Structure 1
Amino acid sequence: MGAAQSSTDEFVREPLGVQERITADGSSPWPVEPHRYRLIGARACPWANRVIIVRRLLGLEPVLSLGIAGPLHDDRSWRFHLDPGGVDPVLGIEWLREAYERAIPGYDKGVTVPAVVEIPTGKVVTNAYQDLEFDLATQWTAHHRPGAPDLFPAAHRDEIAEISGQLFHDVNNGVYKCGFAKAQGPYEQAYDALFARLDALSERLAGQRYLVGDTITEADVRFWVTLVRFDAAYHGHFKCNQSTLTDMPVLWSYARDLFQTPGFGDTIDFEQIKQHYYGVHTEINPTGIVPKGPDPSGWLSPHGREELGGRPFGDGTPPGPPPIAERVPSIAEPR
C-alpha cells in the first residue's frame, strides 16, 4: 500500500479506491479467469507481500501473473524501474497510476499495491488487498495446486477474523501509526499498543506453533509480513524501538520458522525493503541514507518450533520453488 496523509497528528490510512471483487460465483462483474489478470506487487510492501505469499502457497502462479514494482517511487506512484526499459513487460506501463487512470479517469485516491489489473484493457480491477487474499483462497479453488493449504478453514474463520482485526490496528498499521505520527501523544499511544499486542501474541505463541489451530492460516501471513520487516525498517525508521525482533525470543523463533517455510522467505528481498522505507519516506529520513544492517543471516538459524507440533500445510504439501523470473536473491548470497 502507500502511506496516507492526515490533517491531524495521528496517522490515518487512505481508503482503498477500487474495491471490486474477482469471484467464481457470479457475485461480481469480474469472473475468475486464468491469464486475464496480472497481480502487481512490490517486494518492499507488506500489504502486497501478503497477497504474493497467498498466491505462492496456493500455487496460482501459472494462472495469475505477477508484476513487481521497484522499491522507489514519488508522487506519481509506484513505478517499474527494475524492469527493462522501466516498463512492466506485460502491461507496458511505467507508472502504476496509468492503470488506475485507465479504470477511473481523473483518479484521485491512493495508488497502492497490491493491485490486480485486467491485462486486455490495462485497467485496475481491484486494490482491496484483504478481499483479494480471501478470494484467492476461496474463489480461485479450481486453479489451486494439488496440496494447496486451506488458509481460511471454516471452523476457525471467526477466530482468524478477530486476530486479524487486532493485528491490523495494533501491528500491521500500528508500526505506521508510530512512524508517521506528527505529535508525541499519538506516537506513544501507537507505540504502547504495538508492544502490548506483541507481548500478548508472544504469550499465545509460546505454547502453539501457529496463531490459529495447528496449521498456517491467513492470520500467520498477516502477522509475519510485519515481523520480517521489523528490524530492517520499523525498529529504527518508524521509532518502534522498545526492542528488536531478535530480542523477542518467541516471536523471533516464530518468524524464523515461517521464513524457512516455502512460500514465505522466498518472497523477501531485504535490500528492496530498506531501499523503499529509507529512500521514499523523505519526511522521516530526509538524507535518504539506507542503512547497511542488520545482518539477515540469522533468519536461517535453527528455530526449534517443530517441538510444538503443528502441520504447516495441514493435509496439503509445501509449494514448489518460485518461477525463475520471480526468484529473489538468497540472503546467503553476497549482494
Structure 2
Amino acid sequence: MSVTPLAAHPSVRPAPAFRGRIGRDARSGHYAVPRRYRLHLSTADPDGLRIAVTHALLGLDRACPVTFLPAVPDCPDGGHTQLRPLYDASAHRYTGPALAPVLSDDWSGRIVSTHGPDIARDLARRFAGGRAVLYPCGSESEIEAVERMCAQGIEQAAQCAGDAGADAAGRAAALETLLATLGVLEQGLGVQPYLISDQITAADVELWVALVRLDTVHRHHLDADAVRRVAGHPALWAYARRLAAHPAFGAHLDLDGIARRHHARCQGLEAAGSAVQILDWAAHAADGNSLPSQVNRP
C-alpha cells in the first residue's frame, strides 16, 4: 500500500518531558547494552500499548525488562506515584506530572526518554539484532505518514465526531474525515495483508492501536449509525482481528484497563454507538498467558 504523506500538524500527543535517544556507541552517552534500560508502561495508554507490542515483536523481554503500571494513574495530575523518584532524579525540582511511558537507565537511575515514538524507534534500531524489521530501509516517510493519518484522520477525527459540545456541522465533517481515512486504508488492505510491506512493520503497530481505541474508546461517543458506517470496512477490521490473534499484539490488549482509564478521564457523553461493538476483541486476542514471566504487571 502506498501511503501519501499528510501535511504536518501539531501532534495530539503531550510534549515529552525528556527526549534522550539511544545512540550507536559509547560516544552517544546512551547506547545499546542488554539489561541497562527498563521500560515503564501502562498498556491502557496508547503510547504504552504501541511500545509493548513493539517490544514483544522484537523479543526484548530479557534485553530490556518492562515494569507494567496500573491502567489508571494514581495522581490527580495524571501521573504515577511509582515514577516520581525517576522524575525527581532526572530533573531538579521537577513539578510536572510523572507520566508514562518512560525509558529509564538503570546505570544512572535517570530517565532517558518519555517520548513514545522515539522509544519505539530506538528499541527497533538499536536492540533488534536481526529480529523483526519494523522500520525497513526507505520506509520512514511512509511510516510517518501512517502515524499522522492515525493521529489526525482517526484519533482526532473520531474525538471531534463524538464531541457532544461541538456544532452538528463540525461533528459531521469530522465523521466524514474519519470515514475517508478508513476508506483509504480499506482499499490498501483489500489487496495486501499489511500496510507498507509484506510483513508487519511499525506502521501496522500504529494502525492497530488506533483501531483498538476507535472501537474501545471513541465508539462510545458516536451514534449508532456512525458506528455502523465505521464498521463497514471489512478488510480493515479483518486485519485488526488478525493482528489481535498475534501473540505480540493480543497478549498486551488490556480491555478492562482501557475501559477503566477511559471512564476515569472521560467527561464526554455516552451515545448510542456504545451498544454497537465492532469487534469482539476478547475472543480474538491471543492468550495473555504468553506474556514473559519476569514482567511485573499490577
TM tier relative to shorter chain: 0.7 to 0.9
Does the 8 Å CA contact 1:115/1:124 hold for their aligned counterparts? yes
- Alignment map for 1:26-65 (pairs within 5 Å): 26=26, 28-65=28-65
Name the counterpart of 1:260. Answer: 245
User: For 1:113 and 1:211, how far apart are their aligned partners in 2?
Assistant: 28
> In the alignment, which residue of structure 2 is the partner of 1:67?
67
CA contact (8 A) 2:72 2:260 kept: yes
Which residue of structure 1 aligns with residue 17 of structure 2? 17
More helix by share: 2
User: Which amino acid is 1:104 matched to?
Assistant: A
Shift in Å, 1:70: 0.8
Kindly indicate whether structure 1 or structure 2 has the higher relative contact order, using CA contacts under 8 Å at least 6 residues apart.
Answer: 2
Q: Go from structure 1 to structure 2 and tell me whether the alpha carbon gap of 1:240 and 1:167 turns closer, same or farther (over 3 Å shift).
A: farther
In 2, distance between residues paired with 1:195 and 1:321?
A: 35
8 A Cα contact 1:237 1:278, kept in partner: no
RMSD (Å), alpha carbons: 3.3
The one-letter amino acid of 2:113's match is T
Choose the corresponding residue for 1:275, options 260, 278, 291: 260
Conserved 8 A contact 1:266-1:322: yes
How do 1:116-155 residues align onto structure 2 when only pairs under 5 Å count? 116-141=103-128, 144=129, 148-155=131-138
Task: State how far apart, in whole Å, the 2-side matches of 1:110 and 1:96 are.
Answer: 9
CA contact (8 A) 1:50 1:225 kept: yes
Measured at CA, do residues 261 and 11 of structure 1 come closer, stay the same or move farther in structure 2, by a change above 3 Å?
Answer: closer
Where do 1:90-105 residues align within 5 Å?
94-105=81-92
In 2, Cα distance between equivalents of 1:110 and 1:58: 30
Q: How many pairs are equivalent?
A: 278
Which of 145, 168, 180 does residue 162 from structure 1 map onto? 145
Contact kept, 8 Å, 1:96 with 1:111, in 2: the verdict is yes
Instruction: Give the aligned residue type for 2:153.
Output: D
The TM-score with structure 2 as length reference comes to: 0.79
Instruction: Please say if residues 235 and 241 of structure 1, whose CA atoms lie closer than 8 Å, have aligned partners that are also in contact.
Output: no
Tell me, which stretches of 5 or more residues in structure 1 are unaligned? Answer: 1-9, 80-93, 302-319, 329-335
Give identity over the alignment, percent.
Answer: 26
Within 1, Cα distance between the matches of 2:136 and 2:172?
36
> Does structure 1 conserve the Cα–Cα contact (< 8 Å) formed by 2:44 and 2:257?
yes
Alignment of 1:268-307 (within 5 A): 268-281=253-266, 283-284=267-268, 295-299=280-284
Structure 2 gap segments, 5+ residues each: 1-9
Moved over 6 A (4+): 238-241
